[in-house]
Amino acid sequence: MNDILSVLIFFPLIAGILGLVVKEGSIRTYGISVAAVEFLLSLWMWFQFDPTDGGMQLVKRISVVPDFGISYYIGVDGISLFIVIMATLMTLIGIIALSVKEDIKNMILTLLFLEVAMVGVFVSLDAVIFYLFWEFSLVPMLYIIGAWGGEKRLYAAVKFFLYTFAGSLVMLVGMLYVAYAYHRMTGIWSFALTDWYTMLLPLSEQKWLFWAFFLGFAIKVPMFPFHTWLPYAHGQAPTVGSVILAAVLLKMGTYGFVRFSLPMFPDASVMYIIPVAILSLIMIVYTAMVAYAQKDMKQVVAYSSISHMGVIMLGIFAMNAEGISGSVFFMLSHGIVSGALFLLVGVIYDRRHTKMISDFGGLASVMPNYALIFGVMLMASVGLPLTMGFVGEYLSLAGFFKISPAMTAIGGTSIILGAVYMLSLYKRSFFGPVTHAANKTLTDLDAKELTALVPLVAIVIWLGVYPRPILGPIDTSVKALTVLMHEKAKTPEAKATIILSKSTKEAQ
């Protein structure tokens, strides 16, 4: 059934349009039902997926503008498969835990439209279709922040939009040039990524194209020094906006590097490993220190998110299967863990209408279930072994160790620094006496909140203990990617840097 990906894309769109006639009192049930069906469809996609095949599967290709080679071209491999599933899961969790009181109908419909864009980005194999979904994702998030955010929501929404849109325009120029280069070499217009992968661009063109795509993806990640929009967006966004932003939208940037930059510009990617790694290390160390200095609980999680994205970037530019597979797995764990942490901050904000750490203390004695789940997610965030956060972080750093042990040692401080600021947050908020009278009457997690959070806890522990069901298909596709990069690489430096695993060499 090759139409499963099309169903995944357009089902939330149709449901969102039909939702316009649903009554306000029934919209939450409607939204949860739609998101649940979408999640089950994504699991059905996984059921049809062959984990031993590293290529694109469930492919659908329909010519749209034949004269320019634009087509509705979609498919998934092990790299994109689980990111799609995570997007559908976190949308479902976000709607279940939704605490917005005003205009809830528009919020739920907006989340369904955003889900269309998210799924579309991760299954698109045509650059034009990818770009359309990429840009469309800005609109629902702009609306979520601007309509339901805090006091400075308009500033945060506009800054988010301008940063990401500006980077996207530069990326578009790069895409158009790649299509022109393909036409120059073959006489055929095509925007299909699988066609672009067959093209060998000279290093002089690879270098500037790498930075054109880099700008679009780096702003989305967000990498230093383009990260300043994210703390504002998280700080002003409603809880569900922060959950989706951290869990899924940031992964569009790191996914873009894996899907576009590495296979299309392997020589340039190797050439610029060190500059990218330096920016990533600044992300890791600088934002971790900024996180420790925060007085707002949500800002601690926001800066923590940026720091961990730096580790993902190191894994991607390790240029070997170990690092890239680890980074893709870390995208998933970061999405689950950071999404859960933002949900947990939202839980306490709904009760106390404050996110300031100084307003809490002794919460463990008042809200034991809340404290337990927060503690589990905190430990996953700092990379405790037997949690999902450890697997991806370890593999990402282990992969980059082959590039630079010294830089990896600096990147490894993310674990130490993460433990410092997260445990400090936990100590000040959950331990000690209850110093504020308002905290003594707080209620523990209710059924709705437990329904949203308990599955995430189960996933974090399950994939921390036994990551093979997810890591296996990812690794198979990543090894196919490294083979492609190795075959296309022309410079001796790139050939030596792009290390093929033993099993990959045997397969050749």
Please give the full DSSP string across 56-97, using - where no structure is assigned: -EEEEEEEEEGGGTEEEEEEE-HHHHHHHHHHHHHHHHHHHT
Q: Mind listing the pLDDT tens digit for each residue in 238-264?
A: 999 999 999 999 999 999 999 999 999
- Cβ proximity of 473 and 56 under 8 Å: no
pLDDT at 501: 60
Q: Residues 6 or more apart from 489 whose CB is under 8 A from it?
A: 266, 267, 270, 495, 498
* Averaged pLDDT for residues 69-81: 94
2, pLDDT greater than 80: no
Pairing of strands 57-65, 70-76: antiparallel
Determine the Cα–Cα distance for residues 392 and 397; give it in Å rounded to an integer. 9
Residue 22 DSSP code: S
Classify residue 290 by its DSSP letter. Answer: H
The per-residue pLDDT for 505 is 46
pTM of the model as a whole: 0.93
Stretch among 134-148, 297-311, 388-402, 482-496 having the lowest mean pLDDT: 482-496
Tell me the C-alpha to C-alpha distance, in Å, between residue 118 and each of 14, 152, 160, 197, 412: 15, 26, 17, 23, 31
* SS3 (DSSP) at 328: helix
- Which string of b and e fits 370-407 if b means at least 16 CB within 10 Å? bbebbebbbbbbbbbeebbbbbbbbbbbbbbbebbeeb
Q: How far apart are CA 151 and CA 153, in angstroms?
A: 6
Mean pLDDT calculated for residue range 311-334:
94
> Please, what sign has the CA dihedral across residues 10, 13, 15, 21?
negative
Cβ-proximal residues to 314 (8 Å cutoff; 6+ apart), any chain: 277, 280, 281, 284, 323, 327, 396, 397, 400, 407, 408, 411
User: How far is Cα 430 from Cα 286, in angstroms, rounded to an integer?
Assistant: 26
Residue 344 near residue 374 (C-beta atoms within 8 A): yes
Mean pLDDT of the chain: 91
413-437 pLDDT per residue, tens: 888 999 999 999 999 999 988 888 8
Residue 508 has pLDDT above 50, yes or no: no
At 359, the amino acid letter reads D
Three-point CA angle 296, 425, 223, nearest 5°? 65
pLDDT digits (tens, 9 = 90+) for 84-132: 999 999 999 999 998 887 889 999 999 999 999 999 999 999 999 999 9
